[in-house]
A and B are shown apart, each in its own frame.
Chain A
Amino acid sequence: MTAWILGGALVAAAAVLPLVTASYLVSFTIQLFLFVVLAYSWNVISGYTGYTSFGHTSFFGIGAYGATLMMLHWKLPWLLACAGGGLLAVAVALPLGVVMLRLRGSFFAIGMFGLARVFEAVAFGWADLTRGGTGLYLPPAYDLRPLYYALGVLALGMVLLTWRLDNSRFGLQLLAIREDEDGAEALGIKTTRLKVRAFVLSAVGPGVSGGFYAVYLSFIDPPTAFSPATELTTIAMVLFGGMGTVLGPLVGAAVLSVLYEGLWARFPQVYLGAGGVIIAAVVLLMPRGVMAVAMRRGWLPHGRGTLRRLAARPAAPAEA
């Protein structure tokens, strides 16, 4: 119950924020929302399904370019164009997922990393469409509030979706794939179909928010669209919070956003390396993230909601 009140208060605070305050905080929160979306999306495929992707900026960049081109050539309104960018990312993710998810572990990670580099190279090389390294310009957005609410709704959607996922049969099946894919297959879980579904699901958020990011910057070029720094930050956030947890990505995104903002202001030379230091520290010191530490210390209930409820259910009578 407290969790619901706390969550409601957080959402209400976020909803009134742009009505009462200056543009700096709004701008900061837009970037926070952006990373919440990216972190939760990455969490679906890498946290729950166990397929660590080093190339999810592919979908971010595809969404960014898709939405920008739709706005420039088809004169679509930005919201519709961003949805279109998301659809494009899904359309690319589906065949890619079928191929890439045959790779396991490190090979999937490296394959995805290479893929992002290829998309970046194509964005550079296909100059007729993307104007290569010059980039594409959009009319600047003077009022950031519509963008703020659109990204906020998307971020909230990702949190709720993950909460549903964590409590669903689908989510548990994904966890089974993560823990032992061959075992899951042997138990009758249709692993390929579910993995592809998770992969496509994890491309939606980056695809749509890529468009939002292009609107926010009113500019897109290949290094921005397929930036390894975006990838790194997302991964650091989810690892820090805890992979495959409902609240971990939110905690990670919030803590690291504030940290990055502080570092950016005081020590701009080192802030890019901070993501690397955080990942190294998490891998070495708390590989299951802050959420696992919080559970161990007793600040949070142990285990998953579904499993807790299953365990609390009165046992079935031994003899029928």
Chain B
Amino acid sequence: MRTLAELLANGLLLGGIYALMACGLNLIFGVMRVINFAHGEFLAFGALLGVSLVIGHGVPFLVALVLVAAAMGVFGYLLQAALIERVVDGPPIMSLLLTYSVSTILVNAGILIWGGGYRGMPGVFSGSVPVLGMNLSQARLVAFAIALGLTGLVYGFLARSMLGKAIRAVSELPEIATVSGIAAARIRYLTFGLGGMMAGAAGVLMAPMFASDPQMGARFVIKAFTVIIVGGMGSYAGALVGALLIGIVEVTGGYVLGQTFGTAILYVLMIGFLLFRPSGLFGLRVVAR
């Protein structure tokens, strides 16, 4: 019974970080119908930049978090403005190919910068904390709290602020938004920046939990895809619920079936949803079939 509770708790904690990553991915999809294949590399760059700052330059963890998130936000904004904007109106496969190519360029740039090996962040939030009789990793608790806080903050921004409302308007009815005086292109840059910021922050939060390497993106982007497909493409709240669910499925699946086949379970879930419920739990009525 104790193990079950610990599995659920650990799954939930992992899911919180997936939420931060996947909500950004889904925000991007919602606004411009582009699936950002490079989202995993945003996460990897976030993690590796975080390790460089904290371990290499002795920057405090929270300061590094803010710096890296800001840097990845700017990077996402510029990437959209310089490259992806050009294919937004084209066939979806062209934008996917473009983000796929960006992903491979980033992986190799990462290897050039940091080398191919794994980098950890030892000594940051190490050890565990007793919670309700369970021993939970401190790094996971902190990451979960910050990740959910950030996800909520962005949700509040989308719900309340003028800019957030403009983003939602472009997501729902781009033509009407444009004739209402919203500069749709600028909103798209901003959305990509926001997505980059969230993925970068998720990377920094993950760095104390797992060793990071430039090729980690592919492992996590598949999970993020699974999250938004299960949660519902384009739905911010859906991605949040999906992420917590996927975290739990991954941890319990890995415990029951072993690491390898636990990952395969996620994939089966993704294909199952794509085939039988393409709009996911809360999604827009779109597109998969």
Contact = CB atoms under 8 A, between A and B. Distances in A.
Interface of A: 50, 52, 54, 99-100, 102-107, 109-111, 113-115, 117-118, 121-122, 124-126, 228, 232, 235, 239, 269-270, 272-273, 275-280, 283-284, 287
Nearest to B86: A284
Nearest to B266: A114
A113, A232, A273 — most chain B CB neighbours (10 Å): A273
Contact of B104 (A239, A269, A276): A276
A239 B108 contact: no
Given A107-B274, A110-B225, A270-B108, A125 B100 contact: no
B274 A228 contact: no
B81 to A, nearest CB: 14
B275 interface: yes
B288 A280 contact: no
B173 interface: no
A232 B215 CA distance: 14
Interface string B103-114: 111011101100
Contacts of A117: 218-219, 222, 263, 267
Nearest to B112: A269
A100 B289 CA distance: 11
A152 B91 CA distance: 35
Nearest to A54: B100
Given A106-B93, A280-B98, A114 B87 contact: no
The 3 closest A-B pairs by CB, nearest first: A125-B260, A273-B108, A276-B104
B96 interface: yes
A110 B35 contact: yes
Given A279-B97, A280-B102, A284-B86, 19 more contacts: A50-B93, A54-B100, A103-B288, A104-B287, A106-B96, A107-B287, A111-B270, A114-B267, A115-B267, A117-B222, A121-B260, A121-B264, A125-B259, A239-B97, A279-B98, A279-B104, A283-B87, A284-B87, A287-B90
Nearest to B103: A276
A275 B106 CA distance: 12
14 contacts: A100-B271, A103-B274, A104-B288, A107-B288, A114-B222, A114-B267, A124-B260, A125-B259, A235-B100, A273-B107, A276-B100, A279-B100, A279-B104, A284-B83
B255 interface: no
B258 interface: yes
B98 A283 contact: yes
A52, A99, A106, A239 — most chain B CB neighbours (10 Å): A106
Given A122-B260, A284-B98, A275 B104 contact: yes
Given A109-B93, A110-B35, A280-B98, A273 B263 contact: no
B96 A118 contact: no
A52 B105 contact: no
B92 interface: yes
Nearest to B257: A125
Contacts, number: 118
B155 interface: no
A283 B278 CA distance: 28
Contacts of A284: 83, 86-87, 98
B267 A273 contact: no
A104 B233 CA distance: 14
Contacts of A122: 260-261, 264
B94 interface: yes
Interface string B214-226: 0000110010011
Interface string B5-29: 0000000000000000000000000
A85 B260 CA distance: 24
Contacts of B258: 125
A280 B98 CA distance: 5
A136 B62 CA distance: 46
A270 B112 contact: yes
B101 interface: yes
Contacts of B287: 104-105, 107
B101 to A, nearest CB: 4
A295 B215 CA distance: 39
B210 to A, nearest CB: 17
A287 B90 CA distance: 11
A99 B260 contact: no
Nearest to B105: A276
Interface string B247-260: 00000000000111
Nearest to B110: A273
Contacts of A111: 270-271, 274
B284 to A, nearest CB: 14
A104 B289 contact: yes
B274 A283 contact: no
B83 A102 contact: no
Nearest to A115: B267
A52 B93 contact: yes
A287 B260 CA distance: 38
Nearest to A103: B274
Contacts of B264: 118, 121-122
Contact of B225 (A102, A114, A276): A114
